[in-house]
């Protein structure tokens, strides 16, 4: 008992003596601890923002695009149209996990990634410093997945109301593998053909902050090819082919506008000042594009339509996508206004002149808007917004014409041209394969009945007899 009491008295004293003999922390140790805590806080903040951004981009497909497209078709096709967007969320996710992420972001060749990330091997919680040094590799992977999902979903607007569901699944699988993944690797992948420096021009090959070439040009141009290959809908053009619910489209477009902040500002890959700059540029461009389309339509028809305002906003969002991380607010507003006017003319005058049936104007908005945005990025990109890009000597790379680098406009045209060629050639070959294998288009009776019933055996609306 006495020994226990003595131990109780001596142990605190011994512990105190041990603490007293420890040397106080040095300034270097304190600074190191502070630096470690700061990096941990930054990583947590960046990761939170990127997970939210990933969710926002997924929201753009479902419900955003599903509602926007679903409201623009006839009642008998609303479920089938919305299903095309929804099924991309499932189909592309599986392809991405198995091989897609590796093909897009594995090092590989200048044109396609290797198989180092097959089945997401090695994609864990540690950052991949080749792409984003403050967030888990898995966060970067899932964020990029959301882009891979929405891109093929955009194409469905061109062949709405007339493609077989089975053919659409096969087409989208092959298109993701042979068009989207190679383009994503060339523009964003380490060692990608358009993600390398060109010493002869003193700058980077092609600037695409959030997907003007990768997402919008490839999907929009492919949409045009699909519309031309499949031919017009039965009865097109005619008074009977009108949107059945602009209310649904209104909600969908509003969700797209909000979700686009994750699309563009999230592409900064961190909660940084660059993310704020991209956020502001995105919003300003959407606003001015809405006005640009509305004014052009008002002058032409005497009335500004709701659908015109919605389409204008989307056109501005498309056009600012490649430029959002490189331009200041006023140039962003100018890009948006220009896109609103140009895309209005593409969806009315040009489409009417050539007579193709791009059902929901996927080419007029995404193909034309993406090309315009890619080119104007070469004009307005500036080191005042983003000086993270370096030339081969290690100095800040000159960007657009506003920084005195005329060669960047040519670089942008090269990137856009490659996207056009890959989309046209790849889509034509894939369409032919699908047509021979299972047939692309529903028959006339199925089209007249509507794809809701003929493809899915369901009705979104009770049809009038």
Domain assignment present for 117: yes
pLDDT at position 251: 98
Tokens representing 166 are 């089975």
Instruction: Kindly state the average pLDDT of the residues 426-445.
Output: 97
What's the pLDDT at 202? 53
Query: Mean pLDDT throughout 349-356?
Result: 95
Checking if the pLDDT of 23 tops 60, the result is no
Max Cα distance, the chain (Å): 105
Instruction: Say which CATH number the domain at 287 has.
Output: 1.10.3430.10
Which comes out higher in pLDDT, residue 111 or 38?
Answer: 111
Residue 23 lies inside a defined structural domain of this protein? no
Is 163 among the domain residues? yes
Mean pLDDT of 19-25: 55
Residues linked to residue 203 through DSSP beta bridges, in sequence order:
198
Higher pLDDT, 248 or 19: 248
Please tell me the predicted confidence (pLDDT) of residue 203: 54
Q: Is residue 6 part of a domain?
A: no
- Mean of the pLDDT values across residues 363-383? 97
Query: Mean of the pLDDT values across residues 186-194?
Result: 93
The pLDDT score that the predictor gives to residue 463 is 53
Whether the predicted pLDDT of 359 surpasses 60: yes
Q: Would you say residue 159 lies in a domain? A: yes
Residues in Cβ contact with 98 at an 8 Å cutoff, skipping those fewer than 6 apart: 118, 119
Which tokens go with 219? Answer: 């999907």
What is the reported pTM? 0.91
Among candidate residues 169, 153, 150, 161, the one with its CA nearest the CA of residue 80:
161
**Of 141-150, 366-375, 406-415, where does mean pLDDT reach its minimum?**
406-415
Which of the four pLDDT bands, split at 50, 70 and 90, describes residue 29? confident
What percentage of residues in the chain have a pLDDT greater than 70? 91
- Split at pLDDT 50, 70, 90, the class of 15 is very low
Query: What is residue 11's predicted lDDT score, i.e. its pLDDT?
Result: 46
Indicate whether 40 pLDDT > 70.
Answer: yes
**What is the reported pLDDT for 16?**
47
pLDDT computed for residue 448 by the predictor: 95
| 18: pLDDT strictly greater than 70 | no
pLDDT surpassing 60 at residue 54: yes
Structure confidence at residue 238 (pLDDT): 82
Q: How confident is the model at residue 465 (pLDDT cuts 50, 70, 90)?
A: very low
Assess whether pLDDT exceeds 50 at residue 9. Answer: no
* 290 C-beta neighbours (distance < 10 Å), count: 26
| φ/ψ bin of 81: left (φ > 0), alpha (ψ from -120 to 50), beta (otherwise) | alpha
The model's pLDDT over 78-105, given as tens digits with 9 standing for 90+, comes to 999 999 999 999 999 999 999 999 999 9
Q: Which residues contact 109 (CB under 8 A, 6 or more apart)?
A: 191
- Determine the Cα–Cα distance for residues 99 and 164; give it in Å rounded to an integer: 26
- pLDDT value of residue 462: 62
464 pLDDT higher than 80? no
Give me the number of domains the chain comprises: 1
82-111 per-residue burial string, b: 16 or more CB within 10 A, e: under 16: bbbbbbbbebbbebbbebbbbbbbbebeeb
Q: Is residue 14 part of a domain?
A: no
Q: Give the span between the Cα atoms of 24 and 8, in whole angstroms.
A: 27
Other C-beta atoms within 10 Å of 302: how many? 7
Looking at the predicted structure, is the pLDDT value of residue 142 above 60? yes
Tell me, yes or no, whether 31 lies in a domain.
no
| C-alpha to C-alpha distance for 351 and 82, rounded to whole angstroms | 24
- Rounded to the nearest integer, the mean pLDDT of the chain is 91
Provide the domain limits for residue 324: 47-456
Query: 89 in a domain, yes or no?
Result: yes
Query: Is the model's pLDDT at 210 over the cut of 60?
Result: yes
What is the C-alpha to C-alpha distance for residues 294 and 310, in angstroms, rounded to an integer?
Answer: 9
């Amino acid at each position: 008992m006495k020994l226990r009491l003595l131990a109780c008295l001596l142990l605190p004293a011994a512990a105190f003596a041990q603490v007293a003999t420890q040397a106080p922390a040095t300034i270097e140790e304190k600074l190191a601890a502070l630096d470690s805590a700061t990096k941990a806080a930054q990583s947590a903040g960046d990761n939170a923002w990127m997970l939210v951004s990933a969710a926002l981009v997924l929201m753009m497909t479902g419900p955003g695009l599903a509602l926007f497209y679903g409201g623009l078709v006839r009642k008998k096709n609303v479920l089938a149209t919305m299903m095309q967007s929804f099924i991309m969320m499932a189909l592309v996710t599986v392809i991405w996990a198995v091989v897609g992420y590796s093909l897009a972001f594995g090092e590989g060749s200048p044109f396609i990634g290797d198989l180092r990330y097959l089945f997401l091997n090695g994609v864990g919680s540690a950052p991949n410093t080749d792409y984003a040094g403050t967030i888990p590799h898995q966060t970067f992977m899932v964020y990029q997945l959301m882009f891979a999902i929405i891109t093929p979903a955009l194409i469905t607007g061109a062949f709405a109301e007339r493609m077989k569901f089975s053919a659409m699944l096969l087409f989208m699988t092959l298109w993701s593998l042979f068009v989207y993944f190679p383009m994503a690797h060339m523009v964003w992948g380490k060692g990608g053909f358009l993600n390398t420096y060109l010493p002869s021009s003193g700058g980077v090959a092609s600037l695409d902050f959030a997907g003007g070439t990768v997402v919008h040009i490839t999907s929009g141009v492919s949409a045009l090819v699909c519309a031309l290959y499949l031919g017009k809908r039965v009865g097109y053009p005619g008074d009977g082919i009108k949107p059945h619910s602009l209310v649904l489209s209104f909600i969908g477009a509003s969700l797209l506008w909000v979700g686009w902040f994750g699309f563009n500002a999230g592409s900064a890959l961190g909660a940084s000042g660059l993310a704020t700059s991209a956020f502001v540029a995105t919003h300003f461009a959407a606003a001015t594009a809405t006005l640009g389309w509305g004014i052009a339509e008002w002058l032409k028809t005497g009335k500004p339509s709701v659908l015109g305002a919605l389409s204008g906003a989307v056109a501005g969002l498309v056009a600012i996508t490649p430029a959002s991380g490189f331009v200041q607010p006023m140039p962003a507003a100018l890009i948006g206004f220009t896109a609103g006017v140009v895309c209005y003319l593409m969806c009315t005058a040009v489409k009417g002149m050539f007579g193709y049936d791009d059902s929901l104007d996927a080419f007029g908005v995404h193909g034309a808007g993406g090309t315009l945005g890619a080119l104007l990025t070469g004009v307005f990109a500036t080191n005042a917004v983003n000086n993270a890009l370096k030339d081969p000597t290690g100095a800040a790379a000159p960007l657009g014409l506003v920084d005195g680098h005329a060669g960047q406009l040519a670089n942008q045209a090269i990137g856009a041209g490659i996207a056009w060629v890959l989309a046209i050639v790849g889509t034509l070959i894939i369409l032919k394969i699908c047509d021979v294998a299972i047939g692309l288009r529903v028959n006339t009776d199925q089209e007249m009945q509507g794809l809701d019933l003929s493809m899915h055996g369901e009705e979104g609306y009770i049809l009038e007899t």
